């Protein structure tokens, strides 16, 4: 492809609303253009990247036995009402509309209901199972605050697959198959990633796993073992008890702490070890008005874990000042578990501390030398804190490492969540109707474009993995309009590369200086750059620079194809 015949619309200026590298570089490189908030047009060079990712995903899904179909973008409300999600699906994300007959529809954010409708009509016998249907399709989620370009857009491309099974054993086999398929997809693209245990969220089901591309800009924090296989989203990561050195229990003492409202204040005021303090967090209960959650002073509450505790209302809601004052008789900052007339749930680590410091449930007073068994024996123990860097790994292998990740895939064991309410059954061996077991497997195709850039860029632009680069090679002739030798050499190399099936972009713009061409080549991230100039042609040489290293060397003109083929593994 010649640039003179191609829409290459690069920009020097940084987009004003672009906060992260992928958003900035996709706009500046001319890969996408914003149409409305969270809605983008994919320009030709961007679509090439998107299609390459789609091809990899499609090849691996087909290899795993998936059957590709295409479902409608617009979905009738009746299906969502059957599943019970019409008024439940992530409040606000479901964009609803009415047709001319005033019938309710929505733009599909996902397709569990539609595929279940297909399955219950097309699948009649257990002998037809298992099956795994998938599509690569446009989704729409009406994000409250779309941001980060294609990373959190309202309209996006996703691969969503749905499997149906006669029993849970078959479901688990396909779940593992999809796990393996996702690892092959991400390996082929060339990304560093982690598969982590995750919460099932609004999709539901009994088990799920997320796939995260590691990047400092990632919205999610993931925890994984330094030596073992354990990995989990921090929302779900199990935090084992941190044991402090044992101490002989001392007698509880009440002391004045005027004006000391925070853990940091108390630690400084009493010259204490923060690990010997506890925080008392008062939340709304499920079956009782309020519940006290106790964590160590240096730890943080994990809201996802806490709201799954029996007796705690979900979503987790902190009690306000008036509720706390009415129930306990003191303000936030003076609360503690001693003689507290509320259900108490202590985190595992907090429950191991002896001689600790806590609020005295009286304004401007705290207790020191508090011990659970003697001073506040009525409590439950649960894992309710966030795991931290350096904690022991729950699997017993090494310590926990924390890294930022971008979620690009999520697989679920849905079980009967949709098949029972939507009456999706097949006849079993005895001729009896039985609800199908179901799995769901999503991968953000357009998000993968952004994630790849977040992991692969520098100050000059994108560094595409070769598998998804829009072009494999860029040729930059220098002053070709003034040199017949350069023009002829460029033409020969360009055609030879095309003949070898190499995707090459020829920057034949006569109206641009070499520096502009070099800058554009680095910005759009083409993996291999060749510069053809008079000096090199006279020596029968061409200048070669890989985008990944920026280290330039000279190649003989007659070895360009063979050397490049070896690098690209075409021979």
pLDDT in tens, 59-106: 999 999 999 999 999 999 999 999 999 988 655 689 999 999 999 999
- Give residue 263's pLDDT: 95
Taken in order 349, 354, 356, 358, the sign of the CA dihedral is positive
- If you average pLDDT over every residue of the chain, what do you get? 94
- Write out the two tokens for 89: 């699906």
- Give residue 201's pLDDT: 60
Q: Which structural domains are found in the chain, ordered by start?
A: 3-7+15-238+402-454 (3.30.930.10), 253-382 (3.90.960.10), 473-567 (3.40.50.800)
User: Is residue 261 pLDDT above 50, yes or no?
Assistant: yes
Tell me how far the alpha carbon of residue 167 is from its chain's centroid: 30
Burial 335-362 (b: 16+ CB within 10 A, else e): bbbbebebbbbbbbbbbbbbbbbbbbbb
Structure confidence at residue 571 as a pLDDT band (50, 70, 90): very low
Q: Which residues contact 568 (CB under 8 A, 6 or more apart)?
A: 466, 472, 502
Tell me how far the alpha carbon of residue 233 is from its chain's centroid: 10
Q: What is the pLDDT of residues 394-411, one digit of tens each?
A: 999 999 999 999 999 999
- Give residue 446's pLDDT: 98
For range 282-302, the mean pLDDT: 94
Q: Which residues contact 59 (CB under 8 A, 6 or more apart)?
A: none
% pLDDT > 90, the chain: 88
Q: Pairing mode, if any, of strands 473-477 and 528-532?
A: parallel
Structure confidence at residue 203 as a pLDDT band (50, 70, 90): low
Tell me how far the alpha carbon of residue 278 is from its chain's centroid: 33
% pLDDT > 70, the chain: 98
User: What's the CA gap between 357 and 360, in Å, rounded?
Assistant: 9
Q: Which residues contact 114 (CB under 8 A, 6 or more apart)?
A: 71, 72, 75, 79, 108
For range 234-254, the mean pLDDT: 92
CA distances from 173 to 132, 167, 180 (A): 12, 10, 11
User: Is residue 548 pLDDT above 70, yes or no?
Assistant: yes
User: Is residue 555 pLDDT above 90, yes or no?
Assistant: yes
Structure confidence at residue 210 as a pLDDT band (50, 70, 90): very high
User: Is residue 288 pLDDT above 80, yes or no?
Assistant: no
């Amino acid at each position: 492809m010649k640039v003179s015949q191609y829409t290459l619309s690069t920009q020097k200026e940084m987009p004003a609303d672009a906060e992260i590298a992928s958003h900035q570089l996709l706009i500046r490189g001319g890969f996408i253009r914003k149409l409305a908030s969270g809605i983008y047009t994919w320009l030709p060079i961007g679509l090439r990247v998107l299609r390459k990712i789609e091809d990899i995903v499609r090849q691996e899904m087909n290899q795993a036995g998936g059957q590709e179909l295409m479902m409608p973008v617009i979905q009738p409300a009746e299906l969502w009402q059957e599943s019970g999600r019409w008024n439940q699906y992530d409040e606000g994300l479901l964009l609803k509309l009415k047709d001319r007959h005033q019938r309710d529809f929505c733009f599909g954010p996902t397709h569990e209901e539609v595929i279940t409708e297909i399955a219950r009509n097309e699948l009649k016998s257990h002998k037809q199972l298992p099956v795994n249907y998938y599509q690569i399709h446009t989704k729409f989620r009406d994000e409250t605050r779309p941001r980060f370009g294609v990373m959190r857009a309202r309209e996006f491309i996703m691969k969503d697959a749905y499997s149906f099974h006669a029993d849970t054993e078959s479901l688990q086999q396909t779940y593992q198959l999809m796990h393996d398929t996702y690892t092959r997809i991400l390996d082929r693209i060339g990304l560093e990633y982690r598969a982590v245990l995750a919460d099932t969220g609004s999709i539901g089901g009994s088990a799920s796993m997320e796939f995260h591309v590691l990047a400092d800009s990632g919205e999610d924090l993931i925890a994984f073992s330094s030596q073992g296989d354990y990995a989990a989203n921090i929302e779900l990561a199990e935090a084992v008890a941190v044991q402090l050195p044992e101490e002989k229990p001392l007698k509880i003492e009440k002391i004045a702490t005027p004006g000391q409202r925070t853990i940091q204040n108390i630690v400084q005021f009493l010259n204490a070890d923060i690990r010997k303090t506890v925080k008392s967090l008062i939340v709304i209960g499920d079956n009782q008005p309020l519940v006290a959650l106790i964590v160590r002073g240096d730890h943080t509450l994990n809201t996802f874990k806490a709201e799954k505790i029996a007796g705690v209302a979900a979503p987790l809601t902190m009690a306000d000042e008036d509720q706390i004052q009415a129930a306990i008789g003191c303000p936030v900052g003076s609360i503690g578990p001693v003689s507290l007339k509320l259900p108490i749930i202590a985190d595992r680590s907090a429950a191991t501390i002896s001689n600790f410091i806590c609020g005295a449930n009286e304004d401007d007073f705290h207790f020191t030398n508090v011990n659970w068994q003697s001073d506040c024996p009525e409590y439950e123990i649960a894992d309710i804190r966030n795991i931290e860097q350096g904690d022991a790994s729950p699997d017993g292998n090494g310590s926990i490492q924390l890294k930022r990740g971008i979620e690009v895939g999520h697989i679920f064991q849905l079980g009967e969540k949709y098949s029972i309410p939507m009456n999706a059954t097949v006849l079993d061996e005895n001729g009896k109707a039985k609800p199908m077991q179901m799995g769901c497997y999503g991968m953000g195709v357009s998000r993968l474009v952004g994630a790849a850039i977040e992991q692969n860029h520098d100050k000059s632009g994108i560094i595409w993995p070769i598998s998804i680069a829009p072009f494999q090679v860029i040729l930059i002739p220098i002053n070709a309009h003034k040199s017949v030798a350069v023009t002829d050499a460029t033409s020969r190399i360009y055609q030879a590369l095309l003949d070898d099936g190499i995707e090459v972009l020829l920057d034949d713009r006569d109206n641009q200086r070499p520096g502009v061409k070099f800058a554009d080549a680095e910005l759009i991230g083409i993996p291999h750059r060749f510069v053809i100039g008079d000096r090199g042609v006279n020596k029968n040489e061409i200048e070669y620079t890989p985008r990944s290293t920026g280290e330039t060397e000279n190649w003989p003109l007659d070895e360009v194809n063979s050397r490049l083929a070896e690098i690209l593994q075409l021979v």
